[in-house]
């Protein structure tokens, strides 16, 4: 085992630092409060969505409905939560419970998570269209104020990302419950043998994913001030990429919340960086795919080296 494979956080940190350095070198003006704010503007909802995806990957599943789910939350936030806050809040809570139920169902009936979540993406998307057939709505004022607050020293997006990383680290890595949840991904049988209900644990992981998905949708509306039914569809891919970039593994319960937040920041920054490069926006999506493949290649090489020594 070498250092790189032991401390899986190194690779994401290095990626972010290199990208950040390159951005500053290209565009020195970005090295300011305002510049950073611009660079990481959309990082908060992406980081939250990445956390949601991480909860699912942690228990060895994958969620292809997250983008549609975040869009639905955004639509509810921009309409019901604005007009009738109590009803809006109740709907969001119901969505979290629906996510938990989805996890319980996938486990109890041994359904393939890919197909179920792909189907659910249409259900969420359908509800979103139902609520907001055309782009519109507005952000509740308090949410808008929260997302555009200007804390001293560092811009909101950076402060919020650090906060998200700390909270989820405490929740998933430090807490007693998070440990058992990661255990489900690591060795389900041994967790079950120790007397835990895997059904409840899976429901809990999916419920957490729903909770962070709700936060992601709300944060997105706070930034964009309006919503539409397709607003966050690409979050499905972004969130998976963020988890993987952050050092998470697809199976085995190996996830790193701090790494995943860094992964989400890297993805956000990559988009800004590419526009500085005057690379046409055509390549934005492709660059994300290429980064994902590059990082996975790098990781494979390091883990091979680690296995040799």
Partner 1 sequence: MTDQAPAPIVTLTEAKKHFGPVRALDGVTLAIEPGDCIGLVGHNGAGKSTLVNLINGGISPSAGSIKFDQGDDALSAGVRSVFQELSLCPNLTVAENLRISHHELKGFGWRRPARAEIRASLDEIFPDHGIDADTEVDTLSIAERQMVEIAIAFAPRGTEARLVILDEPTSALDAGIAGQLIAHVKRFCADGGAVIFISHMLGEVFDVASRITVLKDGKIVAESLAEDFTREALVDAMGHVAAQEAETSGALQSFGPEVVRTPQGLAAREGEIVGLSGLAGHGQAAALAQLFLSRSSAWRSSKSPDVVFVAGDRQRDGVLPLWSILKNISISILKQGSRFGLVDTNVEANAASDWKARIGIRTEDTNNPVLSLSGGNQQKVLFARALASTAPIVVMDDPMRGVDIGTKQDAYSMLRSEAARGRTFLWYSTETEEACQCDRVFVFRNGVISAELTGADITEEKILEASFEMQQAS
Partner 2 sequence: MTLLAKPWIWAWGAAALTFALTIGLTSGRGAGELAYAALSFGAFAAIVGLGQMLVITLGPGNVDLSIPATMTLAATLALKAMGSMPGTALLGLAIALAVGFGAGLTNYLLILLLRLPPIIATLAASLIYQSLAIWSNRGLRIKPPEALADFATGRFFGVPNVAWVGLGLAVLVWIALERSVWGRWLLATGQNMRAARLAGVPVERVRASTYLAVSVFAGLAGYLLASFSGGAALNMGAEYLLMSIAVVVIGGTSIAGGNSNVPGVWGAALFMFLVISMLNSYGAAAGLKNVLTGAIVIAIVIAASTRKGRK
Min CB(299)–partner 1 separation in Å: 15
CB 68 within 8 A of CB 128: yes
Residue 148 or 275 with smaller CB distance to partner 2: 275
- Residue-wise DSSP of 143-173: HHHHHT---SSS-HHHHHHHHHHHHHIIIII
Piece of 76-84, 169-177, 204-212, 235-243 that binds partner 1 (CB under 8 A): 169-177
Residue 150 or 200 with smaller CB distance to partner 1: 200
Residue 133 or 151 with smaller CB distance to partner 2: 133
CB 214 within 8 A of CB 95: yes
Residue 114 or 170 with smaller CB distance to partner 1: 170
Tell me which residues in 10-29 interact with partner 2 (CB under 8 A): none
300 contact choice in partner 1, partner 2, none (CB below 5 to 8 Å, kind-dependent): partner 2
Piece of 2-10, 11-19, 169-177, 285-293 that binds partner 2 (CB under 8 A): 285-293
Q: Does 190 bind partner 1 (CB under 8 A)?
A: yes
Over the window 123 to 142, marking each residue x when it contacts partner 2 by CB under 8 A and - when it does not, the resulting string is xxxxxxxxx-x---------
With b for 16 or more beta-carbon neighbours within 10 A and e for fewer, the 147-175 pattern comes to beeeeeebbbbbbbbeebbeebbebbeee
Min CB(109)–partner 2 separation in Å: 5
CB 225 within 8 A of CB 146: no
CB 244 within 8 A of CB 266: no
Rounded CA-CA distance 207/56 in Å is: 10
Min CB(179)–partner 1 separation in Å: 5
Tell me which residues in 246-275 interact with partner 1 (CB under 8 A): 252-254
Residue 56 or 78 with smaller CB distance to partner 1: 56
Q: Which of 145, 197, 250, 305 binds partner 2 (CB under 8 A)?
A: 250
Dihedrals φ, ψ of 227, to 5°?
-140, 160
Closest CA to 100 of 137, 130, 56, 36: 56
Alpha helix ranges (H) inside the chain: 3-6, 10-26, 33-39, 43-58, 66-78, 80-83, 85-108, 113-131, 141-147, 156-168, 176-186, 188-193, 198-224, 235-245, 257-276, 284-308
Rounded CA-CA distance 223/8 in Å is: 32
Tell me which residues in 222-241 interact with partner 2 (CB under 8 A): 229, 237, 240-241
Piece of 62-70, 87-95, 159-167, 189-197 that binds partner 1 (CB under 8 A): 189-197
Q: Is 285 left (phi over 0), alpha (psi -120 to 50) or beta?
A: alpha
Tell me which residues in 93-112 interact with partner 2 (CB under 8 A): 105, 109-112
| Contact footprint for partner 2 (CB under 8 A) | 62, 105, 109-112, 114-116, 118-131, 133, 229, 237, 240-241, 244, 250-251, 280, 282-290, 292-293, 296-297, 300
| Contact footprint for partner 1 (CB under 8 A) | 1, 6, 170, 174-176, 179-180, 182-183, 185-187, 189-191, 193-196, 252-254
């Amino acid at each position: 085992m070498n250092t790189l494979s032991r401390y899986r956080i190194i690779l994401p940190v290095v990626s972010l630092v290199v990208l950040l350095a390159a951005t500053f070198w290209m565009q020195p003006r970005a090295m300011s409060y305002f510049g950073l704010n611009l660079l990481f503007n959309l990082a908060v909802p992406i980081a939250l969505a990445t956390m949601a995806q991480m909860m699912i990957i942690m228990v060895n599943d994958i969620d292809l409905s997250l983008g549609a789910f975040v869009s639905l939350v955004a639509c509810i936030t921009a309409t019901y939560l604005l007009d009738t806050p109590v009803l809006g809040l109740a709907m969001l809570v119901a969505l979290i419970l629906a996510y938990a139920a989805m996890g319980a169902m996938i486990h109890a009936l041994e359904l393939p998570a890919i197909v179920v979540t792909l189907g659910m993406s249409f259900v969420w998307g359908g509800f979103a269209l139902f609520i907001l057939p055309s782009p519109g709505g507005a952000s509740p004022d308090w949410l808008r104020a929260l997302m555009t607050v200007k804390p001293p020293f560092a811009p909101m997006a950076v402060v919020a990302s650090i906060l998200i990383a700390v909270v989820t680290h405490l929740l998933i890595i430090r807490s007693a419950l998070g440990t058992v949840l990661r255990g489900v991904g690591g060795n389900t049988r041994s967790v079950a043998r120790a007397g835990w209900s895997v059904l409840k644990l899976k429901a809990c992981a999916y419920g957490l994913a729903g909770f962070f998905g709700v936060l992601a949708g709300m944060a997105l509306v706070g930034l964009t001030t309006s919503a539409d039914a397709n607003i966050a569809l690409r979050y499905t891919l972004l969130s998976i990429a963020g988890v993987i970039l952050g050092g998470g593994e697809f199976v085995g319960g190996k996830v790193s919340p701090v790494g995943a937040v860094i992964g989400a920041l890297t993805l956000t920054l990559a988009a800004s960086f590419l526009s500085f490069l005057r690379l046409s926006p055509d390549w934005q999506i492709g660059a994300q795919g290429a980064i994902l493949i590059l990082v996975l290649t790098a990781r494979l090489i390091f883990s091979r080296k680690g296995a040799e020594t």
